[in-house]
Amino acid sequence: MNDQPSDEPDFMDRFAAIRETGVAANGFVKVTVDGTSDLAELVIDPRGMRLSSYELAAAIRVAFGQARFAAQERAAQAVPDALRQDAPELNAMLQEIKADAHGNMNEILSVANELTMRLDRLMRPAP
């Protein structure tokens, strides 16, 4: 056996380093996720704040979906052949990651909706 450390990053390091970005609303909304589909960054251009809360939430969903799909594709390519076999443990882990990603997305959208509703109220002209 070779006990010397390899100069090549291991599978988990490559997986954790994955970053993919989705863009929506004419570039006003950018969402970046990592290899586990966790939100790494959300950027809303100030011009994007002119969107209604519904439009902004929809744009975040679209950008997140694009980023998540791209990250999942890259993550699948990063999986070594030995792990590509139909292992129940791996399938369970992937299902858990998918469920976490959906939960994270719902939480992000809830916060985004709340923020845009507050901004809508603040932007209304005084009576």
H-run or E-run covering 43: strand 39-44
**What is the tens place of the pLDDT at every residue in 80-119?**
655 555 667 777 777 888 788 878 888 888 888 888 888 8
- Residues 70-75: contacts with CB under 8 Å, at least 24 apart: 70/20, 70/21, 70/22, 71/18, 71/19, 71/20, 71/33, 71/34, 71/35, 71/37, 72/37, 74/18, 74/20, 74/35, 75/15, 75/18, 75/35, 75/36
Q: What is the residue-averaged pLDDT of the chain?
A: 81
Whether domain 16-123 has CATH 3.30.1310.10: the reply is yes
pLDDT confidence band for 1 (50 / 70 / 90): very low
Cβ(30)–Cβ(63) below 8 Å = yes
**Residue-level length of the chain:** 127
Amino acid at the residue 64: F
H runs (alpha helix) in 18-87: 53-78
pLDDT at position 2 is 46
Statement: residue 72 has pLDDT above 90: no
pLDDT confidence band for 75 (50 / 70 / 90): confident
pLDDT at position 4 is 47
Domain boundaries in the chain?
16-123
The rounded Cα 82 to chain-centroid distance in angstroms is 26
**What is the tens place of the pLDDT at every residue in 76-89?**
877 665 555 566 77
